[in-house]
Chain A
């Protein structure tokens, strides 16, 4: 299997812009920066409330970018890009914190248990991201579902709408994506 090395920020997301609109990388960069900026503002106490919902984060970024008159202010398209930006931010952060590169020495049981434990989940993000790149090579849609559900925390309905499929179909494909990744990570 082709393991594409992914070490640098942003650049090598092997994605074609399925919506047919151009400039996906620029959009990604804009959303990425915006999400980070909003999160940092919360930390400095410029926004009220200590806890910041991930979805609130995404929506605030959307409102701001839409307000700036970006040409791609289609909400569904935005959600897809925001989900990928979230994935990138979280994986970059995990890598910066010295995440494990493999799921070394983990059997299937501890794999599940490990993902329940939040701290380790962070450490595993790098390996998950690599597996997700491979999944994207097999089936781009499944990779996008994982980005939206897991990395952006979007609901079944929101994800289904954004991908233009029925919620029932989405549920089955989400199950397929989880099974595929679980197999991939268990084997590594």
Chain B
């Protein structure tokens, strides 16, 4: 493949180029490379006589990015232009709606728009939420919209719920004016990171549970609890929004009308925070809210959805069929009590959950130990090592007993007493270690306490066995059994070192974060 006359650039050398000249060379080489598709660009650039390092690097990097750009920009945004243009401003800035003046659009969702407005007479800011004009024609959507206003109005005496000021209509489009919360959604917090501190998790959990509990006490189920519906005001206060799906009595609405009331645009976002019974189309009650709250808290604490899957449909399948990954797998520093509470919230069967957010609030405030500050990062994978260590030591106990028995068979006398001592110590040590393993697996919260309680008995048991083995070693040595003597002494020293040095280190590495309080 010869050089082309079109590339006059190739002959120029050691000439200072302007940025413009350099770009012209880059552009020409890039286009020629696309046309000729050389297998080795570097060699090809040599062939073209390009010596300028900057030009070569630029051509290479552009070709590489072009290759990787996939479908980038290939679908014109113009295809969506009509939607993007036409629906952008149903209400205009400065427009007066009853006693409110529109300031600007705050956001939009599947159901409509939210505007920032002012109420000049009271000199206050309000959020004005409108139902999208195309939905306003549908009685079902209007019904849902009004229901939201009523549910929120019934609950306005709680600081975690937006106060509703008024309900009205403008040009046939219904609107709700409610308290303006300046802040960001929990969704934004989760996505922007970083992971919250244990203190923040605790406060968020208590605040959300308290708000939902208040609704439950008033006979209201939210039914659409998700991070998008939770706002953290700049002052720090959490507000639960969007009672649009709320049912005022537990039987009102029902699953059938619920499905139709959920607009296409909001369907997905909603389904990801639904309880198994809601996904099955069964009746939702307080316990469904408890499930959703568990999902939200889990995602907030760990940064991932407990039923995460690459596909949205996969998440729903997981909600229905799979057990969630324990929260402690994502964050080892979570208090065990919180992990247990989350697990209970996420029980597949409503019977297994808290009866309502009221009980959940009680559990969070009474049961939870004070969250620890500056906790170490997760050491969860270390727990496996700790377990292995326990099992290995139990195996060593058995070996020690067998050895002591053998020594007693060879040379009765002192060895008999040593065998008895070893057996008793091994039994005590074995039982204690099994107990700790059981505690770690089942009643995790008490592990620290139990480890502390049995610390000295375990050391004593191990040292008894170690000393007995050393004594056995001495007996064997004087009995002219050199090899068994060395092995026995080695095992004794091993058990002593295991207890006094190795276990200390592995335990510290595994539990340091939960022990530091």
Contacts and interface: CB of A to CB of B under 8 A. Distances in A.
Our verdict on whether A and B bind, yes or no, reads yes
B65 interface: yes
A169 B69 CA distance: 19
Nearest to B104: A96
B19 to A, nearest CB: 8
B76 A152 contact: yes
Interface residues of A, number: 49
Interface string B69-81: 1111111111111
A175 B81 CA distance: 23
A175 B34 contact: yes
Main secondary structure of the interface of B (DSSP, over half): helix
A54 B107 contact: no
Contact of B81 (A153, A169, A172): A153
Contacts of B62: 176, 179-180, 183
B76 A139 contact: no
Contact of A153 (B30, B79, B108): B79
A186 B67 CA distance: 14
Contacts of A115: 71-73
A125 B86 CA distance: 17
B82 interface: yes
B89 to A, nearest CB: 8
B66 A176 contact: yes
A152 B73 CA distance: 12
B31 A172 contact: yes
Interface stretch (A21-29, A32-40, A69-77): A32-40
B451 interface: no
A132 B298 CA distance: 40
Contacts of B442: none
Contacts of B71: 112, 115-116
B245 to A, nearest CB: 22
A155 to B, nearest CB: 10
B82 A52 contact: yes
Given A52-B82, A96-B105, A179-B62, 20 more contacts: A39-B81, A43-B87, A53-B82, A54-B82, A57-B82, A86-B78, A94-B84, A97-B105, A115-B71, A122-B80, A122-B84, A149-B73, A150-B77, A152-B76, A153-B78, A172-B35, A179-B63, A181-B72, A182-B65, A182-B69
7 contacts: A93-B85, A98-B106, A116-B75, A149-B76, A169-B31, A176-B31, A186-B65
